[in-house]
Amino acid sequence: MVSGAERHVLILGGTTEARRLAAELAADPGLRVTSSLAGRVAEPRLPAGEVRIGGFGGPEGLAHWLREQQVAALIDATHPFAGTISFNAAQAAAAVHVPLLAVRRPGWVAGPGDRWHPVGSLAEAAGVLPALGGRAFLTTGRMGLAAFAHLEGMWFLVRSVDAPEPPVPARMEVVLERGPFTLEGERELLRRHAIDVLVTKDSGAAATSAKLIAAREAGIPVVVVRRPPAPDGVPVADGPAGAAEWLRRTLA
Q: Note down the domain range covering 85.
A: 7-106+229-251
pLDDT at 43: 79
**What are the mean pLDDT values of the chain's consecutive 10-residue runs (252 residues total)?**
74 94 96 92 87 96 98 96 92 98 94 96 97 97 94 96 94 93 97 98 85 97 95 95 97 94
Same-domain status, 68 and 155: no
CATH code of residue 74: 3.40.50.720
Domain count for the chain, please give it: 2
In whole angstroms, what is the distance from residue 77 CA to residue 48 CA?
Answer: 15
Same-domain status, 221 and 236: no
Tell whether 150 is covered by a domain: yes
pLDDT at 192: 98
Same-domain status, 218 and 124: yes
Same-domain status, 65 and 149: no
Same-domain status, 214 and 247: no
Same-domain status, 37 and 98: yes
pLDDT at 3: 46
In whole angstroms, what is the distance from residue 91 CA to residue 219 CA?
Answer: 44
Question: How many CB atoms neighbour CB 237 within 10 A?
Answer: 21
In whole angstroms, what is the distance from residue 205 CA to residue 184 CA?
Answer: 17
CATH code of residue 209: 3.40.50
In whole angstroms, what is the distance from residue 191 CA to residue 214 CA?
Answer: 10
Q: Are 126 and 153 in contact (CB under 8 A)?
A: no
Q: What is the pTM of this model?
A: 0.88
Same-domain status, 65 and 15: yes
Q: Are 127 and 120 in contact (CB under 8 A)?
A: no
pLDDT at 164: 94
pLDDT at 82: 87
